[in-house]
Amino acid sequence: MTDRLTDIKQAANLLKTKEVIAFPTETVYGLGADATSDEAVGKIFSAKGRPSDNPLIVHIGKIEQLEQVVSQVSEVAKVLIAEFWPGPLTLILPKKEGLSKLVTAGLETVGVRMPNHLVALNLLREVQLPIAAPSANASGRPSPTTAKHVLDDLDGKIAGIIDGGATGVGVESTVLDCTTDIPIILRPGGVTKEQLESVIGLVHMDASLENTKLAPKSPGMKYTHYAPDAPLTIIKGSQVFIQKMVNEARNSGKKVGILTTEESKSLYEADVVLACGNKTQLSSVAQNLYEVLRGFNDYNLDLIYSEYFADSGLGEAIMNRLVKASGHRLIEEK
Ligand code: TXA
Ligand code: MG
């Protein structure tokens, strides 16, 4: 059974004895283990069913702990740390010896961040070890933004969980490669490209992220991270066009869900219409995205159509996750 932990000392002791526990961060719940121990980190991979070639982010509670994790901190990284930590920004830097090889999946670099959540910080400061923590979902499922999501996926497979209520940001941290002259965003997330550029100047987007957008109807069905049970298709078009697609599917006997925002919810007719925040406030969309993606699984749907959200700011992270959830199925109104 998975213990519901209310005592930070008890939680820290579980980590010290190489157990894995879930805890809230400001982005999503993390599944933590001692980053210096193969035994502990191995338990993360088996609980999640995560492929071993996907490296983990290491979490620290104090800046001084950085030297336990990385061998070098560039000037740009120092500026970013001063500006954005604690916060949803993961920096890729040259790794320090001493971490479990499983954490870095054999790479010479490591991802590190200091989360901006009191429970996470208290835990990290109590345990005083660098803690490897991927999102606490079963591999392939949407990341967990509540303790219930974690337990739905991992109950019985992990030693404990600290319930800190719903997380704030709702999408994961931005992963920024700081080993190149111009830093590269490998995963858009809670800190936007615009925010980074306002502090350090030019930042690149990893080419594969850009390509996804350029290839709107890629049949790359294999990659369906974050996917709900029913196939999801993103529709870039008017409400009238989306409703027409829904009607066609329903007329052929399909049970159809729509993913939209509060502004448009009442304008659609479908079997299920779920709203994910307000389009005018993208932070609310990010906050509710995974809850809504998981929520569709309660309705036994045949297919889901999602509206297209914004591209810039937090829209980058939101669309990145939606595109993955859809397995790159995107239809554009001509
Ligand atoms: O917000 C977050 O970042 C959450 C919370 C729990 O902190 N964690 C999280 O971890 O999202 P995870 O494991 O689900 O995602 C880590 C991402 C993966 O895309 C992984 O490939 C990338 O970071 N990553 C980790 N280390 C890396 C490295 N050395 N080089 C390149 N990518 C790396
Ligand atoms: Mg994840």
* Span 151-196, pLDDT tens digits: 999 999 999 999 999 999 999 999 999 999 999 999 999 999 999 9
Q: Which of 70, 102, 113, 172 to mutate to test the pocket of ligand 1 (most atoms within 8 A of CB)?
A: 172
Rounded to the nearest angstrom, the distance between the alpha carbon of 127 and the centre of ligand 2 is 23
Sheet holding 272-275, edge to edge: 272-275, 256-260, 303-307, 232-236, 330-332
Residue 165: what pLDDT? 98
Architecture of domain 232-332: 3-Layer(aba) Sandwich (3.40)
Ligand approaching nearest to the C-alpha of 111: 1
Q: How confident is the model at residue 208 (pLDDT cuts 50, 70, 90)?
A: confident
Mean pLDDT, residues 67-73: 97
Q: Model confidence over 223-282: pLDDT tens digits?
A: 568 889 999 999 999 999 999 999 999 999 999 999 999 999 999 999 999 999 999 999
Q: Is the pLDDT of residue 214 over 70?
A: no
Query: Distance (Å, rounded) from C-alpha 216 to C-alpha 234?
Result: 10
pLDDT at 210: 72
**Ligand 1 pocket residue status of 54, Cβ below 6 Å:** yes
Average pLDDT, the chain: 94
pLDDT score for 221: 38
**pLDDT score of 110:** 97
Q: How far is the CA of 54 from the centre of ligand 1 (A)?
A: 8
E strand or H helix at 76: helix 75-84
The predicted pLDDT at position 211 comes to 66
* Residues linked to residue 91 through DSSP beta bridges, in sequence order: 112, 176
The residues pairing with 235 across neighbouring beta strands, listed in sequence order, are 307, 331
Predicted local confidence at residue 120, as pLDDT = 98
Architecture of domain 3-209: Alpha-Beta Complex (3.90)
Of the two residues 77 and 207, the one the predictor is more confident about is: 77
Show Cβ contacts of residue 187 under 8 Å, excluding neighbours closer than 6 positions.
172, 173, 174, 175, 209, 317, 320
CA distance 195 to 20: 33
Domain residue extents for the chain: 3-209, 232-332
Residue 143 alpha carbon to ligand 2 centre in Å: 6
Which tokens sit at 310? 């914004």
Ligand 1 pocket test target in 50, 53, 56, 91 with most atoms within 8 Å of CB: 56
Residue 278's DSSP bridge partners are: 281
pTM for the complete prediction?
Answer: 0.95
Instruction: Return the SS3 of 90.
Output: strand
| pLDDT tens digits for range 27-47 | 999 999 999 999 999 999 999
* Average pLDDT over every residue of 98-106: 95
- Which pLDDT score is estimated for 222? 41
Residue pair 176/198 in contact (Cβ under 8 Å)? The answer is no
What's the pLDDT at 212?
54
